[in-house]
Amino acid sequence: MAVASTSLASQMSGPKSATSISCPQFSGLRKSFSKLDNSVSFFTSQAFFQNVDSHLRLSSDRKGCRAVVAMAGSGKFFVGGNWKCNGTKDSISKLVSDLNNAQLESDVDVVVAPPFLYIDQVKNSLTDRIEVSAQNCWTGKGGAFTGEISVEQVKDLGCKWVILGHSERRHVIGENDEFIGKKAAYALSQGVGVIACIGELLQEREAGKTFDVCFQQLKAFADAIPSWDNVVIAYEPVWAIGTGKVASPEQAQEVHVAVRDWLTKNVSTEVASKTRIIYGGSVNGSNSSDLAKKEDIDGFLVGGASLKGPEFATIVNSVTAKKVAA
Active site residues: 166, 236
Distances (CA, A) of 88 to 94, 101, 214: 10, 20, 35
Q: Which residues of 149-174 are buried (b: 16+ CB within 10 A; e: fewer)?
A: bbbebbbeeebbbbbbbbbbbbeeee
End-to-end CA distance of the chain: give it in Å, rounded: 38
Q: Report phi then psi at 237, rounded to 5.
A: -60, 125
Strand (E) or helix (H) holding 198: strand 193-198
302 contacts 80 by C-beta, under 8 angstroms: yes
284 contacts 312 by C-beta, under 8 angstroms: no
DSSP state of 159: -
235 contacts 214 by C-beta, under 8 angstroms: yes
315 contacts 288 by C-beta, under 8 angstroms: yes
Q: What letter represents residue 36's amino acid?
A: L
Strand (E) or helix (H) holding 108: strand 108-113
DSSP state of 319: G
- d(CA 265, CA 10) in angstroms, rounded, equals 9
Q: What letter represents residue 25's amino acid?
A: Q
Sign, Cα dihedral of 236, 238, 243, 246: negative
Q: What letter represents residue 120's amino acid?
A: D
